[in-house]
Amino acid sequence: MNSYTLSYLKQLESESIHIIREVVAEFKNPVMLYSVGKDSSVMLRLAQKAFYPGKFPFPLMHIDTGYKFPEMYEFRDRFCEEIGAKLIVEHNEEWITKECHPLKLGTDKCCGYLKTQGLLDAIKKHEFDAAFGGARREEEKSRAKERVFSLRDEFGQWDPKNQRPELWDLYNARLNEGQSVRVFPLSNWTEVDIWQYIKLEDIPVVPIYFAREREVIRRNGLLIPVSSFSTVENDAKANFSHEETETVMCRFRSLGCIPCTGAIKSEATSFDDIITEVISARKSERENRVIDLGSDSAMEDKKKEGYF
Amino acid sequence: MESREKTLLRFTTTGSVDDGKSTLIGRLLYETKSIFEDQYAAIEKTSKRKGYDEVDLALLLDGLSAEREQGITIDVAYRYFESPKRKFIIADTPGHVQYTRNMITGASTADLAIILIDAENGVLTQSRRHGIINSLLQIPHLIVAVNKMDLVDYSECVYKNIVSSYEKFSEKLDIHDIVFIPVSALKGDNVAKKSDNMPWYDGATLLHYLETVHVTANRNLLDFRFPIQYVIRPNHGFRGFAGRITSGTISPGEEIVVLPSGKTTTVKSIVTHDGELSEAFPPQSVVLTLNDEIDISRGDMIVRKNNLPQVSNHFEAIICWMDEQAMSNGNSYILKHTTNNVKAFIPRVVYKIDVNTLHREKTDALALNDIARVEIKTASPVLFDTYRVNRGTGSFILIDPLTNNTVAAGMIRGVSRTIDDVIEGAKDKSVTQKKSPHTIWSGWNISREVRELRNSHKAAVLWLTGYSGSGKSTIARNIEKALFEAGCQTMLLDGDNIRHGLCGDLGFSDKDRSENIRRVGEMARLFFESGSIVICTFISPFEKDRATVRSLFPTDRFFEVHVKCDLEVCKRRDPNGLYKKALSGEIKEFTGISSPYEEPRNPEIVVETDLQSAEDIVARIVDTLKKERYF
């Protein structure tokens, strides 16, 4: 009857739970980075499972750039309240008041100030020694090399050539003064796994992941919803002609800041549709993200500076 | 229903870029449609810029900019792909000797390893090294992919030669399943599609083998091991122990014992977020509740009463040194094993393994990438199984507490045996190292204990070792006299005398010296069993020979006495004119001049004849025996 075989998803689940528990057992002050996206949603479910029937013993933290989609803020607040999680929201106030925008500074600098610096300041402020993140190795080629426990120096920098060896399921949780770790419990998950797990577990996600008809404008191969056009253009009075707009069945494959995230053409309105779409996808999931398109080593460069 | 879903295979690939390893993985990804258009476009662009004719699939894999620049793989990269039957996680590791630690990291979680051999180059030193490393890590399945077959005209003869040469070597390895496949990663032959170019090959394609290899059989479902990760106490009514099942299975109602406390109880329930389970098995993460309140914390282990792990603070392991800073005997390290951290140090390197040849070398120092068998001592006992039967409870890492770096990875071989264990073992088997055929050990007619009772003193062996002219004989004679006068039954075995009779056929080569000491040891044993205090005086320059002798006697009855004396003083004394002859070359292989002397590491007694008088030394040794109630 029982073949003692775990499905692939259940094996991944067990591995992630093991990682999350190790962090809580060995660090003083962990936090879970919550970006409101699908990966965060899965990570949160795993945290709930790891400590069931208790609650997970750490807060969530959202580094808010102020540029997220309204649906994301609405979802974030409602969801965290529902599950009774403690949510910390941090901003890099200084640069938000300076009206940091990719069109003004370039995507690299904008990301650097609002996300990277915002995160580093928040970690310092709350004295977190470990921060969970939902990054996956499959996403991008420098992430493929990153450890589950990714050591960062006091400036949050990743040194790819000097990573600690990581063997079996034995994680080295010891830190020197000023160091912290980013922990990636979803390291071995793929985009397909995430969606299959969301379906299996019926995990709530932000509705803009699903396709519906949206009024959009095409810019540099990306579809920009009319509603966020002024934010993308960084101009409250930005003009566009009606000939430019079209109504397209589309969805967001990954979620980021409005100025840097486009929609993709899609008919996927259910979990099953999304899974089918992702399996047959001919483009990687970050195709709609402007920040990765900079150069061949764009992500590696960002990570060296402390980006997640 | 779950079991019908896709299963998972984790495998590792070793080889250097020159072998076409990255190309092979690129090919696997490409053939299983795991490469996205935008990723493909990016490497197409880079390939063009570099002036390649074809798109270099290998570019997909080297994730760090330094690697892309140099065209080499530095670190382990993890890759994911799936076929209709399975999901795969590849740990892609570099093949050069300076990246041995990365190879080991990748192999640590793998169920299968692919070793690449370049058909043009045949079996190289590094192909053998990769086999050795995979064997040390106990990877159950090995695929040897003979690549670049297109460059040797798909020749069956070339392939067969490589296979037979590698098979001959792999007999020495501890790998049970080894498969050879001729491929061309560049052209795609036998990777996912059967090649028309090699009709002589009737085996499976690489992908087919990866999809069908039976991996779950390698799991240990017998020995229940549940290291406690975390105690969950949401309220007063609930106390659960969270962890991942390392091996074995468990059900509610089963009797368990908690280690190291040894308290026993039964399992009340297996709690998960998805509901309670009627049985749990590896690698599930669960929470166990128990029927009795027992004090349990992280690092403890729940096991079955009649199936216990080993418990020891002294064991032997194969370790790979992974830090730039060399190992130091004096340093203490933190040993992380299951969910437990203990202080540890390495008292001894048993031998270093040459990863190219499997040869053992004597050394005290370990540098980056060295692999060695060592002794480990820990501040408190560790609950373990050997790595061979249980990866989860047989593996550990060492952390340097000053830098907090992970400095070594280890696989436990077993408890470090003391001399007493060796004697017990020898008694059990009633054999020693060499024995004549058709002889049966029948035990002593009258036991040593009875003889000791009549003699009113204990039997013992004093083994005096040191340079010629160090004063061994003088001391030995005087000790014997003193003991004899005190009423003891004694015997003196002196090197020169023995060589006149029993060992008259032996010379002074290393081999003959060893045989000499072996015979003397056996003879001392006979006198010892007759109840005598035996005083032996032999230069006995080699550690291993003295250890052999030592192993013949119970620990508290054998005294190794290092008779120390400055070699220059010995030369001056030269009682029989031997140094003179040795220095002139008349005597060959003379200890201290033309043959080495290995100083005892842990002698029971050390005396220094160039600093102390013979009378004082004799009095001290006789006194020691008296105080310890030998007579």
The pLDDT of residue A283: 65
Annotated catalytic residue: which of B83, B247, B540, B551? B540
Residue A299 has pLDDT above 70, yes or no: no
**CATH: 1.10.1840.10, 2.60.40.1120, 2.40.30.10, 3.40.50.2300. Which one for B310-415?**
2.40.30.10
Q: Measured between CB atoms, which of B60, B68, B105 is closest to A166?
A: B105
Residue B68 has pLDDT above 60, yes or no: no
Strands B141-147 and B177-182: parallel
Chain B: closest CA distance from residue A57 (Å): 10
- Contact list in A for residue B394 (CB cut-off 8 A) is none
**Co-location of A195 and A237 in the same domain:** no
pLDDT tens digits, B545-556:
898 888 888 878
Q: Which two three-digit tokens encode residue A293?
A: 């398109």
- Contact list in A for residue B80 (CB cut-off 8 A) is 137-138, 188, 190
**Co-location of A76 and A188 in the same domain:** yes
Q: How many CB pairs under 8 A join A and B?
A: 183
Give me the percent of chain A exceeding a pLDDT of 90. 50
Topology of domain B225-303, per CATH? Elongation Factor Tu (Ef-tu); domain 3 (2.40.30)
B540 is known as an active-site residue: yes
Q: Computed from CA positions of residues A291, A297, A302, A306, in that sequence, does the dihedral angle turn out positive or negative?
A: positive
**Peptide bond just before B84 cis, omega within 30 deg:** no
- Whether residue A149 lies inside any domain: the answer is yes
Alpha-carbon distance A77 to B52, whole Å? Answer: 52
CB A4 to CB B38 under 8 A? no
The candidate with the shortest Cα–Cα distance to B209, out of B249, B233, B178, is: B178
- Whether residue A14 lies inside any domain: the answer is yes
Average pLDDT over residues B95-120: 88
The pLDDT of residue B18: 72
Number of domains comprising chain A: 2
Q: Which residues of B225-242 are buried (b: 16+ CB within 10 A; e: fewer)?
A: bbbbbbbbeeeeeebbbb
Alpha-carbon distance B393 to B340, whole Å? Answer: 11
Average pLDDT over residues A164-173: 93
pLDDT band (50, 70, 90) for residue A296: low
- Whether residue A162 lies inside any domain: the answer is yes
Q: Measured between CB atoms, which of A50, A176, A282 is closest to B36?
A: A282
**Co-location of A183 and A218 in the same domain:** no
Least confident of A17-26, A251-260, B46-55, B558-567: B46-55
- Whether residue A117 lies inside any domain: the answer is yes
Q: A93-97, B286-290, B346-350 — which one is most confidently predicted on average?
A: B286-290
Alpha-carbon distance A25 to A33, whole Å? Answer: 18
More confident residue, B197 or A106: B197
Domain of A219 in residue numbering reads as: 207-290
The pLDDT of residue B427: 45
**Co-location of A192 and A213 in the same domain:** no
- Contact list in A for residue B232 (CB cut-off 8 A) is 51-54
- Whether residue A3 lies inside any domain: the answer is no
pLDDT tens digits, A80-136:
999 999 999 998 877 777 777 877 777 777 777 778 888 989 999 999 999 999 999
Length of chain A: 308
Q: In what helix (H) or strand (E) does residue B67 lie, and over which residues does it extend?
A: helix B65-70
Helices (H), B406-530: 419-429, 448-455, 472-485, 495-500, 510-529
Chain A: closest CA distance from residue B307 (Å): 20
Chain B: closest CA distance from residue A167 (Å): 5
Q: Measured between CB atoms, which of A2, A4, A145 is closest to B63?
A: A145
**Co-location of A34 and A157 in the same domain:** yes
Average pLDDT over residues B463-484: 92
Give the nearest chain B residue to A146 (CA atoms): B77
Alpha-carbon distance A28 to B50, whole Å? Answer: 49
- Contact list in A for residue B230 (CB cut-off 8 A) is 21, 24-25, 51
- Contact list in A for residue B63 (CB cut-off 8 A) is 141-145, 300
Paired residues of A149 in beta bridges: A183
Q: What is the mean pLDDT of chain B?
A: 86
CATH number of the domain where residue A82 is located = 3.40.50.620
The pLDDT of residue B1: 34
The pLDDT of residue B174: 81
Q: In what helix (H) or strand (E) does residue A136 lie, and over which residues does it extend?
A: none
Give the nearest chain B residue to A14 (CA atoms): B285
The candidate with the shortest Cα–Cα distance to A189, out of A6, A40, A49, A34, is: A40
- Whether residue A1 lies inside any domain: the answer is no
pLDDT tens digits, B70-104:
555 567 888 888 888 899 999 988 777 778 888 88
Helices (H), B117-241: 125-136, 156-170, 206-212
Q: Measured between CB atoms, which of A55, A137, A281 is closest to B234?
A: A55
Average pLDDT over residues A200-227: 88
CB A14 to CB B108 under 8 A? no
CB A296 to CB B46 under 8 A? yes
**CATH: 3.40.50.300, 3.30.70.2190, 3.30.530.20, 3.40.50.150. Which one for B2-218?**
3.40.50.300
**Co-location of A195 and A230 in the same domain:** no
- Whether residue A158 lies inside any domain: the answer is yes
pLDDT band (50, 70, 90) for residue A29: very high
Least confident of B222-231, B352-361, B454-463: B352-361
The pLDDT of residue B417: 63
**Co-location of A132 and A261 in the same domain:** no
Q: What is the mean pLDDT of chain A?
A: 86
**Co-location of A56 and A151 in the same domain:** yes
CB B334 to CB A297 under 8 A? no
Average pLDDT over residues B3-13: 79
Helices (H), A27-116: 38-50, 70-83, 93-97, 102-105, 107-111
Report ipTM for this prediction.
0.89
Chain B: closest CA distance from residue A66 (Å): 29
The pLDDT of residue B428: 42
Superfamily covering domain B448-627: P-loop containing nucleotide triphosphate hydrolases (3.40.50.300)
Chain B: closest CA distance from residue A28 (Å): 14
Same fold, B310-415 and B448-627: no
- Whether residue A270 lies inside any domain: the answer is yes
Best of B46, B64, B100, B221 to mutate (most A CBs within 10 Å, chain A): B64
Best of B39, B341, B397 to mutate (most A CBs within 10 Å, chain A): B397
> Residue ranges per domain, chain B?
2-218, 225-303, 310-415, 448-627
Residue A142 has pLDDT above 80, yes or no: no
Alpha-carbon distance B317 to B329, whole Å? Answer: 15
- Contact list in A for residue B274 (CB cut-off 8 A) is 49
Average pLDDT over residues B394-409: 95
Chain B: closest CA distance from residue A176 (Å): 7
Residue A163 has pLDDT above 80, yes or no: yes
- Contact list in B for residue A141 (CB cut-off 8 A) is 60-63, 77
Give me the percent of chain B exceeding a pLDDT of 90. 46
Give me the percent of chain B exceeding a pLDDT of 70. 92
**Co-location of A96 and A75 in the same domain:** yes
Residues 6+ apart with CB under 8 A from B449: none
